[in-house]
Amino acid sequence: MKKILLIILLLTISCSDKEITYIGGKILKKTSDEISILKDEKLIKKIAINENGEFFSKLDSINDGLYNFIHPPEFQYLIFEKGDSIVLRLDVLDFDESLVFTGKGSSKNNYLIDVFLKHEEENDFIKSKFKSNDMNFIKTIDSLINIKIIEFSKFKKFNKTNQSTELILEYAIKLPIYSNVEYFISNFSSSIKSSDIYKYREDVDLNLETFSHFKPYLDYIISRTINHSNQNVNTDSHNSLNYNLKRLEFVNRNITHPIIKTKIYRYIGFEYLLKESELMNINTFLNKFLEYSNNTSTNKEINELYNNIFSLQVNNNIPQVNLVNEKSVVKDIADFYNDKPIVYVFWSYDQNSHQITLFNRINKILNSNSNYNIHTININDDNFKWKKIINLLKKRKNLHHFRSVDFDDMSKKMILNNLNKVIITNKNGKIKKILNVTELEKLFNTN
C-alpha cells in the first residue's frame, strides 16, 4: 500500500483537473485526531489524522481566497486557489515556526507564514521608535514598507499568483505596520506636527469583503475607531461614554460592508459594556448602538449582555445557574443559602499559574477567617480531570468545589469575561460585592 504522503505528492505533480483542490500533510506530536478547514468562520471540512499524524482530503467547490487551518488549540491562515494541491508539515510544539508547505500553491502560503513571523520580529523594532519625533518615525515606517514592497515584487516576479492572492499578501504585509502607526498616533497625538503620519490611511480600504474575517484587518479598523474618537488612550476619557459613542459614529460613517460593520460594532459594544459600571451610561450607549446596528443576532447578544449586567448588581439575587458538586450531584445555586455568606471564585485546570495562585490565596483567607464559605467553580468539561485535581487539594471545612454544568449559560449570567472575577453574597444570596482576586486578598487583609 502506498503511503499517504506519496499519494499527495503524485497528485501534486500529475493532477490534470485544475478545478480540484487537495490538502494533505503530516503533523508531529498531534493534539487532536482531526484538522478543520474554515472559510469566513464556516466549516468547510473536517479531515481525520491517522496514527502517524498524516492526513489527506479533496476540497470540493472551493473558491479562491483566505481560509483557516485549525488543529486545536492552534490555527493559521491559508490561501487557496482552485487546483492547488498543498502539502504541509508542522510540529505542534512549535506551530508557526515549523509550518512548511510544499506542492502546488505552496509558495504563496510559505510567503504568508514568513510575513507573519517577520511582523513578530519587527514589532519590537517599531515600538522602539515610538520615542522618536513623528518625522523620524515616518521615515522608519516608509523605509520598512519600501523594503517589503521590493521583496514582494521579487516574489511576484518568480511566482505566479492571481489578483486575489496578491491582495491578501499585500494587506498581510502592510496592516500590522499601519496598526503600529495608529498606535503611535493615539499615544503621541499632542506632539505630532506633520500630517504625513495620516497618509497610510489612504492605502487601506475599510470595506473589503475578502478581509471581513481577517484578524489583522479587523484590528486595524478597531485602531482607527480609537483615533477618530479624538481621545488620547492614556487618559481616563478612553473608557468614557462620549469616546465610545464617537467610535460607533465613525463605523456608521465609514464602514458599509455589513459583516465588517457588524463585527466592529460588536467588538466596541462588548468592550464598553464589560468595562462601564454606570447603568445610566450603559443605557445611553445601548440606545445609540441599537440605532446604528441592524444585525438581529448581534443586537440580541448586546441586549442579553445588557440585561445580565443589569441583573448582576449589588443587592440583587445572584443569578440562577446549575453546578455539579464533588459527588456529581447537580445543585441549583439557590440551594446554598442557609448558613454563611459565600465567596465565589472561578478557575480552569488549563491555566495552571492562575489555579495555583488562586488556591494559595484561598488558603490564606481561610486560615484567618471562618465567617465565609468559599465556593470554587471550575469552568472545564472534563469531570474526571477536575476531580483528580481537587482531590489533591487541602480539605477545608468552609471550602466547597463545584463545576459548571453549562459554562456558556453561567459565563453570560455571571459576566465572566476573565477568571479573576469574584462575587460575594450574603447568607440570603444577595450580591454584596463584585471584585477581583487581588482585591479579595486585600479585603480579608491576608499577608
Q: Rounded to whole angstroms, how far apart are CA atoms 347 and 401?
A: 11
Is there a single domain that holds both residue 42 and residue 136?
Answer: no
Q: What are phi and psi of 284, to 5 degrees?
A: -65, -45
Is there a single domain that holds both residue 120 and residue 156?
Answer: yes
Q: Read off the pLDDT band of 237 (50, 70, 90).
A: low
In a domain, 341, yes or no: yes
Q: Are 315 and 430 in contact (CB under 8 A)?
A: yes
Q: Which domain holds residue 414?
A: 322-443
In a domain, 108, yes or no: no
What is the average pLDDT across 236-256? 87
Is there a single domain that holds both residue 353 and residue 272?
Answer: no
| pLDDT value at 62 more than 80 | yes
Helix (H) or strand (E) holding 24: strand 21-28
Residue 134 corresponds to which amino acid?
A: D
Q: Could you tell me where the DSSP H helices lie in 276-329?
A: 279-292, 296-311
- Exposure string of 375-388, with b = 16+ CB inside 10 Å and e = fewer, is bbbbbeeeeeebbe
Boundary-marking domain end, from 103, 130, 165? 103
In a domain, 127, yes or no: yes
What is the average pLDDT across 380-403? 92
pLDDT digits (tens, 9 = 90+) for 267-310: 999 999 998 878 889 999 999 999 999 999 999 999 999 999 99
Per the structure, the count of domains in the chain is 3
- Could you give the percent of the chain with pLDDT greater than 70? 93
Is there a single domain that holds both residue 291 and residue 329?
Answer: no
In a domain, 40, yes or no: yes
Nearest to 70 by CA among 97, 93, 100, 39: 39
pLDDT digits (tens, 9 = 90+) for 19-60: 789 999 999 988 899 999 999 999 999 999 999 999 999 998
CATH number at residue 12: 2.60.40
Q: Rounded to whole angstroms, how far apart are CA atoms 357 and 372?
A: 19
| The pLDDT of residue 240 | 86
pLDDT digits (tens, 9 = 90+) for 416-435: 989 999 999 999 999 999 99
Q: Read off the pLDDT band of 245 (50, 70, 90).
A: very high
Boundary-marking domain end, from 76, 103, 130? 103
Boundary-marking domain end, from 103, 124, 144? 103
What is the average pLDDT across 323-352? 91
Is there a single domain that holds both residue 199 and residue 334?
Answer: no
Q: Read off the pLDDT band of 337 (50, 70, 90).
A: confident
| pLDDT value at 231 more than 80 | no
Is there a single domain that holds both residue 132 and residue 96?
Answer: no
| pLDDT value at 403 more than 50 | yes
| The pLDDT of residue 378 | 96
In a domain, 317, yes or no: no
| pLDDT value at 72 more than 70 | yes
Sign of the Cα pseudo-torsion (227, 229, 233, 239, in order): negative
In a domain, 316, yes or no: no
Nearest to 231 by CA among 267, 197, 190, 193: 190
Is there a single domain that holds both residue 420 and residue 359?
Answer: yes
| pLDDT value at 233 more than 60 | no
Is there a single domain that holds both residue 151 and residue 272?
Answer: yes
| pLDDT value at 389 more than 90 | yes
Q: Are 299 and 442 in contact (CB under 8 A)?
A: no
In a domain, 357, yes or no: yes
Q: Read off the pLDDT band of 143 (50, 70, 90).
A: very high
What is the average pLDDT across 93-97? 86
Least confident of 80-89, 154-163, 231-240: 231-240
Is there a single domain that holds both residue 329 and residue 285?
Answer: no
Task: Classify the phi-psi angles of 145: left when phi > 0, otherwise alpha if psi is within -120 to 50, otherwise beta.
Answer: alpha
What is the average pLDDT across 397-412? 94
Is there a single domain that holds both residue 356 and residue 392?
Answer: yes
Is there a single domain that holds both residue 56 and residue 96?
Answer: yes
Q: Read off the pLDDT band of 338 (50, 70, 90).
A: confident
Is there a single domain that holds both residue 94 and residue 125?
Answer: no
In a domain, 229, yes or no: yes
